[in-house]
Structure 1
């Protein structure tokens, strides 16, 4: 899961690990930070500590009514126990977490669990329990369930995966999310159950979903060139401010399709980092867009594995 770090912030608030003992130091105010709750099942000094115990201590130590952002980190052996365990505890505390506006589920890095090992669950339980939730993030897609849901407040949805199942994407796109402004999907690779195809993205690209959407990320995909070609003529692009096609297998063919399609000069940012473009194509993109004020991220030019050419391209995250 290289390329994935612990969250540094959520809802614009700095991420802070909740700790039982503060060494006498004052804790931040409940609404000043994004609180990360996690346990390490392999910590010999605290191996008996459960996520439920840690969460209970958190609710007792920090004014839960002031908490605005919550990060669910490692909840045990996350490749065996699904996120239904911590999500259920958070949902049960909904009457105390009355100001909660953002939740991220599964903030783990490679040393804790590969992204494909993180066992998720039906994360829409959080949307049902918190009608004022504005941000929902998920890392890992094994056992992930996202049935169509109605939610009037959600403004940002991120799903990070090494392989996103098509049923999850269909559930997202069939949801009624009138306030959604930011959608970031890491589509991944077929070897890890990433079976989303262009027809599955058609309702999104047609612009018939999510009327407030202004940021679209279709990232970390092994079909990034095909996505770029589809985006080049997609109606949704006209109302975007930022477009993110990073972390995938994008090459010159996909970049050329973007340049030959509809104008992109209205964007504020085009993120293509981690790509397989040649230097001449990089120059073409910057020459076409940067004079119009578009910030183009072309960092992390990659080389295919071995002598495999296009077949040797790879995403940032898979397993």
Structure 2
């Protein structure tokens, strides 16, 4: 969900169906969630109709945050229509600062079933946008873009395409403070490599960056080894390598790499570390003031002589 909500104390308000006559809050007092009822039968309202009714029911100029849930059967309808609605309303939604596209629970659609599109037109249409969040990565595209005010960029997926990672890495985002990417597994499109991440890990790519999340990866050990010597780490306040297949190999690289004790938070939740390695981490950061999250340890599954480690989110 949007970090903007926490920063500005906004609650999410579901824009009601036509038959619901409840009083609407002030346009800027909430984050407006728009979604169709996937279980409403043949008479359910279309997303197009709900969107138009929303713009006619509130003061668009006051809307600060929009969360988009189901826009239809998202496994065979991409988010292009949602993106186009946002682009077309740019002259009306003049206070819009935060957008999240794909707020669906598992019961509505597995994360790998959510079809997206090229979402960068939203950034081009809203030069003052501060946060963009995306869930789902099928057909997701993010060609390199320039944006002066984006502070938070977040991708939640079971497999983030390398093309998207390269597009982010090639973008000019001087205000970006928070970057989170769930990289996922190759079986669901997550084919990004450490080489794709290299520009993100270099010094000066995103000068304002203070949080970096490279999460949910089946190559988490390789990512940890790259992060261990990455120049960008020196400017970070928090680092998130959680949700993936991190083992003692990657953890050893982190301990032997550049100092991480300047970090306020280091998140390794959902990992495959031995008890001995966890004790080494606790000892290494005991007096540093760094909050280290080692929760949710996992045990690898064994098939004969082979060992299998798994990410937290894939399908």
> TM range, normalised to the smaller chain?
over 0.9
Of 240, 243, 249, 2:239 maps to 243
**1:11 alignment partner, SS class:** helix
In 1, the alpha carbon distance for the partners of 2:97 and 2:81 equals: 20
**1:291 alignment partner, SS class:** coil
Tell whether the 8 Å contact from 2:71 to 2:82 is kept in structure 1 after alignment.
Answer: yes
Q: Alignment length, in residue pairs?
A: 312
Of 85, 92, 95, 1:89 maps to 85
Report the alpha carbon displacement of residue 289 of structure 1 after superposing the two structures with TM. 1.3
Of 138, 145, 148, 1:152 maps to 148
Q: 1:24 to 1:168 in 2, by over 3 A?
A: closer
Report the alpha carbon displacement of residue 41 of structure 1 after superposing the two structures with TM. 3.1
Please name the residue that 2:121 is paired with: 125
* Cα offsets for 1:9-62 (capped at 9, x unmatched): 643222221113696654332222211100023313x74310111112222222
- 1:138 paired with 2:134, answer yes
- 1:258 paired with 2:258, answer no
In 2, the alpha carbon distance for the partners of 1:243 and 1:228 equals: 11
Q: 1:47 to 1:8 in 2, by over 3 A?
A: farther
Of 36, 42, 45, 1:39 maps to 36
Please name the residue that 2:183 is paired with: 187
In 1, the alpha carbon distance for the partners of 2:2 and 2:199 equals: 33
* Cα offsets for 1:231-290 (capped at 9, x unmatched): 111111000000000000011111111111111110000011111112221121122114
Kindly report which structure 2 residues correspond to 1:264-303, keeping only aligned pairs within 5 A, or say none: 264-303=260-299
Q: 1:27 to 1:260 in 2, by over 3 A?
A: same
* Cα offsets for 1:109-146 (capped at 9, x unmatched): 21111111111111001001101001001111111111
Tell whether the 8 Å contact from 2:2 to 2:131 is kept in structure 1 after alignment.
Answer: no
Tell whether the 8 Å contact from 2:38 to 2:108 is kept in structure 1 after alignment.
Answer: no
- 1:15 paired with 2:12, answer yes
TM superposition outliers: structure 1 runs of 4+ over 3 Å: 7-11, 20-26, 306-311
Please name the residue that 2:167 is paired with: 171
Of 68, 71, 75, 2:71 maps to 75
TM-score by length of 2: 0.94
Point out the more displaced range, 179-188 or 299-308. 299-308
Report the alpha carbon displacement of residue 309 of structure 1 after superposing the two structures with TM. 8.0
**2:166 alignment partner, SS class:** helix
What is the RMSD computed on CA atoms of the aligned residues? 1.8
Q: 1:75 to 1:307 in 2, by over 3 A?
A: same
Tell whether the 8 Å contact from 2:36 to 2:44 is kept in structure 1 after alignment.
Answer: no
Tell whether the 8 Å contact from 1:290 to 1:296 is kept in structure 2 after alignment.
Answer: no
- List runs of 5+ in structure 1 lacking aligned partners: 1-6
- 1:52 paired with 2:43, answer no
Tell whether the 8 Å contact from 1:9 to 1:34 is kept in structure 2 after alignment.
Answer: no
Please name the residue that 1:4 is paired with: none
TM-score by length of 1: 0.93
Report the alpha carbon displacement of residue 316 of structure 1 after superposing the two structures with TM. 0.9
